[in-house]
Structure 1
């Protein structure tokens, strides 16, 4: 039986950043790896997380973080793909980008549109797409991110509504991570180990319903 390949396209929360500032969480903790464990050998889950990755924005400070510019080469390098899971938007809320929650949701749609146009030359099919809306930030005031994300905490609480509105309008499948997990109180942005487990398990159930 040919295994089905799932690409997880995201930022530091897909990469597995430890909110306590330690090294990257190991494979037993990261949510894409939990997804792999839950789905079993019939699936191959590819981790494609990049710290600081945005949806569509060029980062004038960090550089090389624009997800839209990277998406097609990454899709092509892993085809044939059954499913692409996109979880981006957190870094869009950095003060330097000055965008709204609705801008972020529409930027996620730009990624969906691009992925849908990226068909497998052998089959002519595009992969299924699942957009994951990130959970709201935890309070940033006590954290090192408070200056980088000025205004971002408030916007993060409007992402779910904005993503839902755009998903309904544009017709793409959406998973609200905030209904399952919460951001860490340690840094306000990243996910604790227990949240990775919950997210991986919840997404596995979602994938089973889709495929």
Structure 2
């Protein structure tokens, strides 16, 4: 009997499916068919189990003293990996929230956070299966606009500098790399989140890449 393959999607609000926000008071989420992990699930079919681990506000390795230290991806990743193993593919897409002005993190430090997370993934036993294949996705460049603009002041140039740094991290760990900024753009409404059309594109591309990685 063929084993079902498992893919873990570890990310932030754009993995969770938060739509563009007109105000900070909004609390919405795209439905399962619209957000990109759901699009990917439909394409991959019954042979794959898609695990959605998107948390709004999640950073790579930074404690957020305003929104909560649980937003630190490093604090949860090992437990997440162990609770969902065995895993065949992991899609890691983080770094947008590290661009917040409160962190004052240069692009190199954001990429270093991804490097640390990739190291945790590599060090986590995967039960009876080989180590999971890792796909590191660099988020698209942000815009400073709308209700989220003040939170991300000074982040545009930093976000534009991330792709080659992420690619170097992927190369170091023998992981696959995807520059999502070549595929989609953030919404002009809040400069951070994706319109439904962008989720559709991402889901289609991720499905193709995950299927290739999973054999």
Q: Same fold (TM over 0.5)?
A: yes
Unmatched 5+ residue regions in structure 2?
Answer: none
Distance 1:45 1:17 in 2: 18
Unmatched 5+ residue regions in structure 1?
Answer: none
Structure 1 counterpart of 2:41: 36
- Structure with the higher helix share, 1 or 2: 2
Q: Is the 8 A contact 1:102 1:163 kept in 2?
A: no
Task: Show the 5 A alignment for 1:134-145.
Answer: 134-138=139-143, 140=144, 142-145=145-148
Structure 1 counterpart of 2:30: 25
Distance 1:120 1:169 in 2: 20
Count of aligned positions: 208
TM-score (norm 1): 0.94
TM-score (norm 2): 0.92
The SS at the match of 2:53 is: strand
The yes-or-no answer on 1:167 pairing with 2:170 is yes
Distance 2:170 2:86 in 1: 25
Indicate which of 73, 89, 97 corresponds to 1:91.
Answer: 97
The SS at the match of 1:195 is: helix
Distance 1:115 1:93 in 2: 23
Distance 2:148 2:139 in 1: 17
The yes-or-no answer on 1:194 pairing with 2:197 is yes
Task: Show the 5 A alignment for 1:115-194.
Answer: 115-121=121-127, 123=128, 125-138=130-143, 140=144, 142-194=145-197
Q: Is the 8 A contact 2:149 2:190 kept in 1?
A: no
Moved runs in structure 1, 4+ residues, more than 4 A? none
Aligned pair in 2 of structure 1 residues 193, 124: CA closer, same or farther (>3 Å)?
A: closer
